[in-house]
Structure 1
Amino acid sequence: MIRYLFNKMLLSMNKRYDYDVSYMQDILQTDMAAFLKFMGFQTMSSHSGNLPPGPLFAARLRAIIWDDCGPCTQLVANMALEAKVSPEIVRAIITGDLSKLPADIALVVQFTELVLAHNPEADDLREEILALWGQKGLITLSFCISSARVYPALKYTLGYGKACSKVIVNDSSLAPTRQSALSERQQNAY
């Protein structure tokens, strides 16, 4: 009975976001204890703390783009739009176009990429983030960045991460760029 209810929840997610939930259904059908642990992880990954939606989804999108080539990125883009982040902002985050982003969102895009690259320049931006949102905001960003990376790794490990695709944001088809904000920051340093 509990598997049935969880599967209904997954099918609802599939319908709501047009997202393939097969890998989660596989976990559910194979190992209930593993699925329950996965659901516990969902609590961490959905934490939003005191961050506004724009910076929150900037971290989630840039982190997911680092490891994904389409479906997971599309899911997070859809969630950002659902959270009322404007399509223009979502497109600029996906393409890494810092010039089209408000300063706080551009800061998070750069910080996320520096963190993912293990670049020590993240330390300077961390101070700016602390000044804006405090330690709670930094913790929220750490959850966004680290948890977003689990989904593509999980899908690829289970054999479900094979499809690359463009991301659609309000009828605009985009190819996510990886590390563009990081390279732009490095170019501006010279």
Structure 2
Amino acid sequence: MRLSHNVPIFQGLDNSWYQLMLASRTPGLTLANRLLDFLGNAGMVIYSVLLFLVLLFRHRRLAFFTAGANLGALGLTHLIKFLVARPRPLDRLVSVDSGSYPSGHVSATVAAMVATAIVLGKLWMWISGAILSVAMMYSRTYLGAHWLSDTFAGAILGVGVTLLLWAAVQDKCLQRYAVLR
């Protein structure tokens, strides 16, 4: 839903949050958020590949589920970025080269954390995954790489892709393997 041809209805909230992020920038917070920037990009790729390899030899179907969740979220994120082509905030602390909506860092982080939590079936993984996901959402807005609504869209996309894929494959995964609990 839009207020006008090019302005999302939630742009007022996005602008308010963006101003709060600009006002809260400090050297220490900037360093911490740059680390999260790395974790959400190369870090999630490394994590996802390692998780896939660990699962591959003993729990092949679960390995392909985690890879499918990550690749599905990544592919859908890039398709939506291309179709929506939303401009990013202007005062960025990181270099970016694609549309703002939805956040790829957030969708990748959420997909990886939800897939891992499903596979492990442990409460601590759900909690730590949620904390990391919220930290990534904060980081992407702090660095000026995304609007707040972009990060919520990325989170919803990551959860949605992972849960839809799990709904489609869980019977096959659980037929052959005991859940890793």
Same fold (TM over 0.5): no
Q: TM-score, normalised by structure 1?
A: 0.27
